[in-house]
Amino acid sequence: VFTLPGGQTTARVEFEALGDNRPTTTQYAWQLDNGPWSGWQTEPYVVLRDYDGGPHTFQLKARNGGLDESLEKIATLRFEADI
C-alpha cells in the first residue's frame, strides 16, 4: 500500500505483459474498488480520476489478442489517497 500526495485526485497507472512469449496484441481490463470491470483495451495504461480519499484497490487482468482470459492471474494494486 502506498499513499498518494495530498490533494491528488488523478493517477496514471501503467502496465505491460511480461515474459518471452508476450503477444503484441495483449488486451487489458481493469476495476477500481470492486466496481464494474472496464471494457477490454490495448492501451497499456489507465488514468484514474475523481476518486475519494482513503484506501482503494485497483485490479487488472489481461488476455492474448481477445483470447485466453486468465481470471486467476488478476494483478492487484492497493493505494491510499490523502485528500
pLDDT value at residue 22: 61
For the stretch 23-70, pLDDT in tens is 568 889 999 999 999 999 999 999 999 888 899 999 999 888 666 666
- CB-based contact 56:80 (threshold 8 Å): yes
Instruction: Tell whether pTM > 0.85.
Output: no
* pLDDT value of residue 65: 67
- Strand-pair category, 2-4 with 75-81: parallel
Distance CA 64, CA 40 (A): 11
